[in-house]
């Protein structure tokens, strides 16, 4: 059975992992007959957002504790992720990917990755193991892979230009499609960067999971 590591950025579209993207990812991994283990960094979130009114809340929350809500408690600290024990990596989106896993949401083209994310993601890349990134999570790709790596965040011009500035080759992509970089065994899909419904998001996520598993 293939084993997939899934990295979550918290719980909730505005400050953590996008819940639908995360659940659909886990569902399609399981439906394909593979297994998964969720991980998250044991750090404070950038901030905590009230998802009802969009306002910032106090006290702030912990990324690992929040991500455990999605994983039903079956989650490990990112420090424990060893790429040698897995066949592939998948990273759902949500603003937490650009706020907690890296600081792209704040610093744009000056962005840096959380050190544990960098270690874990680079381990998969260096081992030539496949990986999938969705929604805004592909903003991390040029900080992990070599210049010219192919990826997508959909078709948002400003974000695409920022990825190009960081060294990626951005390819416009429809919500129900994926971009594959064969050389790097890398798959990306826009998901809720473009999705207007859970069905929209599901179409691309299913293709991403299917192709990541096929490469592993």
Report strand pairing: 169-170 vs 150-151: parallel
Q: How far, in Å, are 49, 50, 102 from residue 60 at the CA level?
A: 9, 11, 17
Closest by Cα among 199, 154, 145 to 174: 154
Instruction: Report the distance separating Cα 91 and Cα 52, nearest Å.
Output: 25
Q: How far, in Å, are 15, 60, 65, 74, 152 from residue 135 at the CA level?
A: 14, 24, 22, 24, 8
Report the Cα 104 to chain-centroid distance in Å: 13
Active-site residue, selected from the candidate residues 11, 102, 135, 173: 135
Active site residue 173: no
Q: Would you tell me how many other CB atoms lie within 10 Å of the CB of residue 73?
A: 8
Q: How far, in Å, are 7, 39, 54 from residue 91 at the CA level?
A: 5, 10, 24
Asked if residue 172 lies in contact with residue 193, where contact means CB atoms within 8 angstroms, the answer is no
* Vertex 156: Cα angle to 16 and 108 (nearest 5): 60
Active site residues: 135
């Amino acid at each position: 059975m293939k084993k997939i590591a899934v990295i979550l950025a918290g719980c909730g579209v505005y400050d953590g992992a996008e819940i639908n993207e995360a659940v659909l990812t886990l569902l399609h991994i399981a439906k394909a007959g593979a297994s998964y283990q969720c991980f998250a960094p044991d750090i404070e979130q950038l901030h905590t957002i009230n998802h009802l009114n969009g306002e910032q809340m106090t006290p702030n929350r912990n990324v690992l504790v929040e991500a455990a809500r999605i994983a039903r408690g079956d989650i490990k600290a990112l420090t424990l992720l060893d790429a040698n024990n897995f066949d592939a990596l998948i990273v759902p989106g949500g603003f937490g990917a650009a706020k907690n896993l890296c600081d792209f949401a704040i610093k744009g083209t000056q962005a840096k990755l959380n050190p544990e994310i960098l270690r874990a993601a680079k381990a998969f890349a260096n081992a030539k193991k496949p990986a999938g990134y969705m929604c805004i999570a592909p903003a991390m790709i040029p900080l992990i892979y070599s210049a010219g790596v192919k990826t997508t965040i959909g078709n948002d011009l400003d974000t695409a230009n920022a990825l190009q500035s960081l060294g990626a080759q951005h390819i416009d992509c429809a919500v129900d499609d994926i971009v594959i970089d064969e050389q790097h065994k890398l798959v990306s899909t826009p998901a809720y960067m473009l999705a207007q419904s859970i069905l929209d998001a599901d179409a691309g996520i299913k293709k991403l999971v299917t192709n990541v598993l096929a490469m592993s």
